[in-house]
């Protein structure tokens, strides 16, 4: 047998990760993505209600103030949700990856004057005062790069999110009914116009994860599976027919987009998760 070859792995210092996470926390909160702004402009053309139009205009004006004055667009600067795509050939040196990310959150939320919205225990509810810990989702991928997406998630829309373990017999119609009902029950609470993330299939936790991951897809990019893309469009139409409108005062635009992410599932089940996001669909990414 040959001796194991020496493999040179690429190295990335933990301090670089900290700096980048701090920057992404601020950028995500100050600078609403061009895709969302475009969707808001298109919504303004579709909207028929006068108050609905007025609100869409105010939301765009708000985004402009946030971007130019570098202040958060919303006072809820979110739970720091971090998606990692970690190349299997990359070696993190000089520190613990999780701690490097949390230190980035700490610095970003302090330097950006962002709100610290995390309590240390669900019952004791004492604020951790630095917005840590983050919620970190890691996927190991081929290659030697690290892609970091920081997606600050507001509590108002998160609270209105849902999950159901449907029966296979419920099928596509059952999924549609559940998604539309979830948006209807959220009503004005989740700050429409919404981005609706749907996780379809997998297991209980996989569906929830996919519904969150669906929220970081760029608006305007449909699912690559034509059947699922068609379902996204059908759902968007049904949701907009609910009449909830911008901020729930009635109108044509209740959602800007529906994104579905799917995964194979067990013969017994049809899990579906609905993660709602307000119009502030915030996420910024970097590849290191």
Chain residues in the site for another protein (CB under 8 A):
48-49, 51, 54-55, 58-59, 61-62, 65-66, 69, 71-77, 113-117, 125, 127, 129, 155-156, 159, 187-191, 241-245, 247-252, 278-280
**Residue 54 or 99: which CB sits closer to another protein?**
54
Distance of alpha carbon 189 from alpha carbon 142, whole angstroms: 41
**Residue 61 or 139: which CB sits closer to another protein?**
61
**Residue 189 or 203: which CB sits closer to another protein?**
189
CB of 47 to another protein, least distance (A): 10
- Is 126 buried (19+), middle (13-18) or exposed (0-12) by CB count in 10 A? exposed
CB of 46 to another protein, least distance (A): 12
CB of 116 to another protein, least distance (A): 6
**44-64: buried (b, 16+ CB within 10 Å) or exposed (e) per residue?**
beebebeebbebbeebbebbe
The residues facing 277 across adjacent strands are 195
CB of 171 to another protein, least distance (A): 24
CB of 233 to another protein, least distance (A): 16
**Residue 104 or 245: which CB sits closer to another protein?**
245
**Residue 259 or 279: which CB sits closer to another protein?**
279
- CA distances in angstroms from 88 to 9, 77, 93, 109, listed in the order given: 9, 32, 14, 30
**Residue 117 or 275: which CB sits closer to another protein?**
117
Distance of alpha carbon 58 from alpha carbon 71, whole angstroms: 16
CB of 256 to another protein, least distance (A): 12
């Amino acid at each position: 047998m040959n001796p194991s070859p020496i493999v040179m792995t690429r190295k990335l210092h933990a301090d670089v990760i900290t700096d980048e996470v701090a920057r992404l926390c601020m950028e995500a909160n100050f600078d609403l993505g061009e895709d969302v702004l475009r969707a808001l402009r298109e919504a303004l053309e579709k909207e028929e209600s006068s108050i609905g139009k007025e609100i869409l205009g105010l939301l765009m004006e708000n985004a402009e103030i946030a971007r130019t004055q570098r202040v958060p667009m919303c006072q809820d600067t979110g739970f720091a949700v971090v998606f990692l795509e970690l190349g299997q050939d990359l070696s993190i040196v000089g520190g613990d990856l999780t701690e490097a990310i949390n230190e980035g959150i700490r610095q970003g939320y302090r330097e950006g004057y962002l709100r610290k919205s995390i309590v240390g225990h669900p019952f004791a509810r004492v604020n951790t005062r630095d917005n840590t810990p983050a919620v970190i989702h890691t996927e190991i991928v081929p290659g030697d790069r690290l892609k970091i997406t920081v997606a600050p998630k507001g509590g108002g829309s998160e609270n209105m999110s849902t999950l159901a373990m449907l029966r296979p017999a419920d099928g596509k119609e059952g999924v549609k009914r559940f998604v539309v009902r979830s948006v209807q029950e959220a009503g004005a609470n989740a700050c429409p116009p919404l981005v609706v993330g749907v996780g379809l299939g997998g297991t209980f936790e996989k569906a929830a994860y996919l519904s969150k991951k669906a929220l970081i897809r760029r608006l305007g990019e449909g699912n690559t599976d034509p059947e699922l893309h068609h379902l996204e469009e059908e759902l968007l139409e049904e949701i907009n027919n609910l009449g909830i409108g911008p901020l729930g005062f009635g109108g044509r635009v209740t959602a800007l987009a529906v994104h579905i992410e799917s995964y194979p599932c067990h013969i017994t089940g049809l899990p579906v998760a609905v993660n709602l996001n307000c119009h502030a669909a915030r996420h910024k990414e970097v590849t290191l």
